[in-house]
Amino acid sequence: MALTKCKECGGQVSTIADACPSCGAKVRARTDPKAAAGGCLTLVLLAAGIAWGLDSCSPDTKDQGTKSPSEQAQEAASNAFYMCESFIKDQLRDPDTAQFMTDFSPDLVTKTADSHFHTIIRLRAANGLGGKTISLFSCETHPVPGDKWVRDDLEEQNADTSP
Distance of CA 58 to the CA centre of its chain: 24
Q: Is 68 helix (H, G, I), strand (E, B) or coil?
A: coil
> How much is the CA Rg of the chain, to the nearest whole Å?
32
Note the pTM of the prediction, 2 decimals. 0.54
Highest mean pLDDT of the ranges 15-19, 62-66, 122-126? 122-126
Range of the domain at 118: 70-161
Mean pLDDT of 2-16: 86
**46 and 83 together in one domain:** no
pLDDT (0 to 100) of residue 157: 77
Residue 38 sits in the same domain as residue 111:
no
User: Does 150 score more than 60 pLDDT?
Assistant: yes
Exposed, middle or buried by CB within 10 Å (0-12, 13-18, 19+), for 139? buried
Query: pLDDT category, 64, cuts 50, 70, 90?
Result: very low
Helices (H) and strands (E) in the chain, counts: 2, 7
Residue 163 has pLDDT above 60, yes or no: no
Interval 73-89: pLDDT, tens = 899 999 999 999 999 99
Domain count, the chain: 2
Q: Compute CA 148 distance to the chain's CA centroid, rounded to the nearest angstrom.
A: 12
Question: What pLDDT, in 10s, does the model give residues 88-105?
Answer: 999 888 889 999 998 888
The whole-angstrom separation of Cα 151 and Cα 82 is 12
* Last-in-domain residue among 56, 86, 101: 56
Q: What is the pLDDT of residues 17-47, one digit of tens each?
A: 888 888 988 877 655 556 556 666 787 787 7
**Are 84 and 144 members of one domain?**
yes
**136-142: long-range contacts at Cβ-Cβ below 8 A with a sequence spacing of 24 or more?**
137/84, 137/88, 139/84, 139/87, 139/88, 140/116, 141/80, 141/83, 141/84, 141/87, 141/116, 141/117, 142/114, 142/115, 142/116, 142/117
The CATH number of whichever domain residue 78 belongs to comes to 3.10.450
Say if residue 103 is in the same domain as residue 127.
yes
Residue 61 inside a domain? The answer is no
- Could you tell me where the DSSP H helices lie in 64-113? 69-91
CA distances from 146 to 138, 139, 143 (A): 25, 21, 9
Q: Are 120 and 140 in contact (CB under 8 A)?
A: no
pLDDT on residue 86: 92
- Note the pLDDT of residue 81: 93
Nearest C-alpha neighbor of 134 from the set 162, 113, 95, 114 = 162
pLDDT at 63: 46
How many residues make up the chain in this entry?
163
